[in-house]
Amino acid sequence: MGPIKIGFYTAPKHTLPHPETHIENPERLEAMYRHVKEHALVDGLVEEMCSTREATREEIGWVHGYYDQLVDRVQQACMKEDSYLCVADDGDPDGCTYAVESSVTDAKRAAGVVLDLVDCVCGSEEPTTKAMACVRPPGHHATGSTSLGFCIFNSVAIAVRYAMKKYDGIERVLLVDFDLHNGNGTAEIFWESSDVCVVDIHEKTQVYEPPEFVPNDANAVGGDKGHGYTANVPLEHASGHHSVVRVMEEIVKPVAERIKPNLVMVSAGFDGHRDDPFGMLCMVEETYEYLGGFLSSIADTYCDGKILFVLEGGYNPDALGKSVVATLQGVVSQTPAAHSGPPPSAGDLQSDSIIDTVKRIHGIGNS
């Protein structure tokens, strides 16, 4: 296997007038880039891909219906210097979803990097091409009808539709989301799809409540012809490495065997790290190395190594950088170190029953 393709877009202008007042700011990716440059690029683990592509209005329209409205709102609200628009989440103590004058273009650039990497993965003659998009703003909370949760456009969802439209061999996609928060936007977009199977492992808190948004509990399994193609694993607070390993080995692995994907897409959020300011899960660098190796092996088994990781959350810059490098190391080694993490926490032990429930709901194993 050659170096992993990696694309960056730090969106330096997509920030509030005082960046330190919001956890989703350019420093996240600037620090992460330094870590990757010092450890992964130098060691030859990855090969940087330069991209100036912007996702088009048509491509964004495959999953979102609000592009024109958002452009108009941002233009009207951001005429003055240092002005910004609160697009969503007004009053949220974690910070609103904001847009400044450059934000729509920045989100299009972020999605464009992801689409270029889809071409690297799916259009390459090399059968084991793997890639990671380290971009902001993130995307997995953005629904079909609104930006949300620091996310302007849902880059992963756009990329899935792009891959399936452009490449004849991409008929079934496994989309794994290991961000701290449920990827409610991605879940909604593919809720009734049987060609995209979403497995979402997250802390159990329902950030965006039904009925306005799709639920994130274990019984939320998709609708219509997509029934059974959404698997939510809502972990207990302070769960960590042990729970992640169980979900991968006992849920993701049999789901992959069931659907036999042609492409693996990953919403890679690192805010489940124990040092992240959200402080809700207890993952460590070894967890992310395991995830990189395990999901890479799934791609090798079913789709000639076709896998693309797309950055979502992660708000401790140092922990984010270390975790991204660990993920890349796992992809390269392709030897998931399931038992290298810390022992099970109290949260892990509580999550064991949740994992068993998910397995029962989806007809996996004997649980």
**Which are the catalytic amino acids?**
141
Residues 6+ apart with CB under 8 A from 168: none
In this structure, are residues 188 and 142 in contact, taking their beta carbons and an 8 Å threshold? Answer: no
Placement of tokens 């792009």 in the chain: 162
The Cα–Cα gap between 337 and 296 comes to 13
Residue with tokens 């190395």: 289
If phi > 0 it is left, if psi is from -120 to 50 it is alpha, else beta; for residue 182 that is: beta
Helix (H) or strand (E) holding 159: helix 155-166
CB 303 within 8 A of CB 264: yes
C-alpha to C-alpha distances, 223 to 176, 190, 206, nearest whole angstrom? 18, 9, 19
Count CB-CB contacts under 10 A for residue 82: 10
Q: Spell out a b/e string for 105-117, using b for 16 or more CB atoms within 10 Å of the CB, else e.
A: bbbbbbbbbbbbb
230's tokens: 């959404």
Contacts of 112 (CB under 8 A, 6+ apart): 9, 51, 52, 53, 54, 55
